[in-house]
Amino acid sequence: MAHPRGYLCLVLHAHLPFIRHPEHPEFLEEDWLFEAMIETYLPLLAVYERLVNDSVNFRITMSLTPPLCEMLVDPLLQERAERRLESLLELAEKEVHRTSRGDMRKFHDAACMYERKLTLALDLFQNRYHRNLVAGFRAFQDHGVLEIITCGATHGFMPLIKTENAKRAQIQVAKINYEKHFGRLPRGIWLAECGYAPGVDRHLADQGIRFFFMDAHGLLYGKPYPRYGVFAPVYTPNRVAVFARDIQSSRQVWSREEGYPGDFDYREFYRDIGYDAPYDYIRPYLHSDGVRRNVGLKYHRITGVGIDLGKKEPYLPDIALERAATHAGNFMFNRQHQCRHLFGVFKKPPILVAPYDAELFGHWWYEGPDFIEFLSRKIHFDQSEIKMITPSEYLEKNKSLQVIEPTASSWGDKGYNEVWLNASNDWIYRHLHLAESRMIELAQRFPVSDGILRRALNQAARELLLAQSSDWAFIMTTGTVVSYAVRRTREHIYRFTRLYEQAMAGMIEESLLNDYESKDSIFQEIDYTVYA
């Protein structure tokens, strides 16, 4: 493809908060990681492997956030994930038998599909990647088809971090962690929640970050107006490139009314055999409390708008797969027309930036990984107008960019800070901002340290970073597991405060420090002087 009419930059933002509870034999919120591994990360790796094996020249950009990477390489969580995957495969094998007769026969194709996919997933996890999915993604980056970017150290929402030192720490800690996992420095970053405020780009430039992403209005409301709108990156005043989201591409996937995932033939997320199967049968696959919950095997399709869960019709995998192929073709067709029009206007190939949460593909939209595979194959084999590209590749081809000052923005509801600062969560910031100031005080008071004091100061930095995770404020707003988000915020602030007081008094309680280090073990490479 010598001269495409336009480029598609598909971006998958893979993130989960750091959840690790060695003090409990099982912990409900750790399921978030296991579900994402089984339903999103392993299926995506399988897609990448098939595409590479078939010499499909695809390009995808993924952010793998530092907390996610740290969890994916953690031996305790790897062991627990393996147990979960083995248990789910055992259940799927039983389901193949249970659905082979009588009224359950209508679910047999779905049961066989689960057994087949889970068998592949377990083989990939154990034998191909030896439990380490970070190594799997790294291999595809090294192969040249995947660009992995970083994110703020703990997905901290940059516009609401008060001090410049703490903003810098989020980025610098992330850079060092990325190098540990991927053997090179990151070229790009996903700012958590696409949260941008003027001046953040200076910290990115200082750490060698070449590009980041933002929502459309952050660029369109910038000064001066971007001459190519959101269809070309620009440089910020500190010479960091910024790519903005294409609204049309996003709407086709995200929108509840217009988006593909709402198609009636796709799998229904909210009906699961954790609730439908006989209790004595499903009990061994629930948590120790015995409460019915989703286990991941779902036998019904969306069926229609507003249809009661009890009236959903059986899920038919082959038909759903056909729909994914059709939707991939439709998505490509629309991007072709979009690029054709924009090329005529701009007289240069536009870039369409299509960013999504990675967990949409597989976890929420079960057929999402199939959609990505079909799309990649269709773009490679069936046309020559558009080409998949990574941000780094685009910048190599286009070195001269307009300079503008983007405006403060996010991709949250209403486009600014309200999701992370409202009546449900505003109380956290007085504590976070005080902790920031105290961490800077510690780093400046103890520019050199060793032994137990250094351990305590490094742990204090970990506790502050974990408290800053945007996930906690987000959960408080959405009203899901609010008690857990409140607990995590309070625990990290409390642990930080204890360490601060003990360090200032010169009396570190080693048993307390050991406990904190065991529970909050993220970033073993951390150096607290990043806050100085």
The HSE-up count of residue 153 (CA atoms within 13 Å, CB side) is 28
Active-site position among 39, 74, 193, 373: 193
CA distance 371 to 189: 25
3-class DSSP state for residue 403? Answer: strand
Is residue 270 within 8 A of residue 234, CB to CB? The reply is no
Pairing state between β 188-190 and 211-214: parallel
- Read off the tokens for 50: 């098939």
Residue 193 annotated among the catalytic residues of the structure:
yes
How far from chain centre, in Å, is Cα 215?
16
Which phi and psi (to 5°) does residue 365 adopt? -110, 95
Residue 357 annotated among the catalytic residues of the structure:
yes
CA distance 357 to 496: 31
CA distance 94 to 210: 51
Angular region, 198: left φ>0, alpha ψ -120 to 50, beta rest = beta
CA distance 376 to 332: 9
3-class DSSP state for residue 266? Answer: coil
Taking Cα atoms as reference points, which of 332, 311, 323, 308 lies closest to residue 264? 323
Q: How far, in Å, are 143, 485, 504, 506, 511 from residue 499 at the CA level?
A: 44, 21, 8, 10, 12
Q: Report which secondary-structure segment, H or E, holds 368.
A: helix 368-381
- Read off the tokens for 306: 């507003």
Helix axis angle, 470-478 to 482-505, nearest 10°? 150
* DSSP per-residue string spanning 70-88: HHHT-HHHHHHHHHHHHHH
CA distance 389 to 8: 6
Maximum Cα–Cα distance for the chain, whole Å? Answer: 74
CA distance 8 to 448: 48
CA distance 179 to 181: 5
Q: Which residues are catalytic?
A: 193, 357
